[in-house]
Amino acid sequence: MSTRKVLELFYDVVSPYSWLGFEVLLRYKNIWNVDIHLRPGYLAAVMTATGNSPPALVPKRGAYMGKDLRRLTEYYQVPLKEPSDVFNVMLKKGTLSAMRLVTAVQMTNPEFVEGVSRQLWLRIWSEDKDITEPESLLEAAKKAGIPEDLAKKFLSATASPEVKNKLKETTEKALAYGAFGMPSIVAHINGKPELFFGSDRFELLAHYLGEKWLGPVPQKSQL
């Protein structure tokens, strides 16, 4: 029997903290004895179901987030930059189309999920670009290395019941684990799931897994 532990990462590209969790976890995929499963979900549905509030709706928290992201970009070495209209990006436009695109990719070509997720985060949280218009989504897919004809198929598939239901199913799975926001990491050890919320619980996660925490950039720590 395999002794590798399983980690599920539930995320939405609307969340900059999910980007941090995503990058750090993937940096550890060849360091820790784990299998990582990416689970693209829909954060707005999780927030609604649990009565949670986005940072942009809490003035003090929203103001803090802008300062926090500037500090985190250096510490995590992820190129975070707050959008010029963060309220519009997070609450008005949202990421339903984007997360349906990631879901469509995962359903048939999971090898592209990491790349397309990263490109979508880059567009919102680094380049201040739209990710709601079809052309913008197509551009993100192509930058992720997806051939244009295949990218167009994924884009068309976002309107299909199969993709919509899959995204809903993944989101409901996160809720069933007890998620109230994202990123949510579910560690499976000896058949028991344990939920870790946020991008600042990796030291605790490492302890739980019996692994070493080498900081957010472990490659540098190993030099």
User: Domain with 80 in it: what CATH number?
Assistant: 3.40.30.10
| Rounded average pLDDT over 42-59 | 85
User: Rounded to an integer, what distance in angstroms lies between the CA atom of residue 123 and that of residue 37?
Assistant: 23
Q: pLDDT category, 221, cuts 50, 70, 90? A: low
Lowest mean pLDDT among 42-46, 65-69, 121-125, 172-176: 65-69
Neighbour-count burial for 71-88, b at 16+ CB within 10 Å, e otherwise: ebbeebebebebbeebee
Q: 120-149, pLDDT tens digit by residue?
A: 999 999 999 999 999 999 999 999 999 999
pLDDT by residue (tens digit) across 62-109?
778 888 888 999 999 999 988 888 777 776 788 999 999 999 999 999
Structural domains of the chain, count: 1
At 39 the three-state DSSP class reads strand
Segments forming the whole domain that contains residue 125:
5-221
Query: What mean pLDDT do residues 21-30 have?
Result: 96
* Residue 160, pLDDT score: 98
Burial label for 100, CB within 10 Å (0-12, 13-18, 19+), is buried
Q: Which residues pair with 38 in a beta bridge?
A: 9
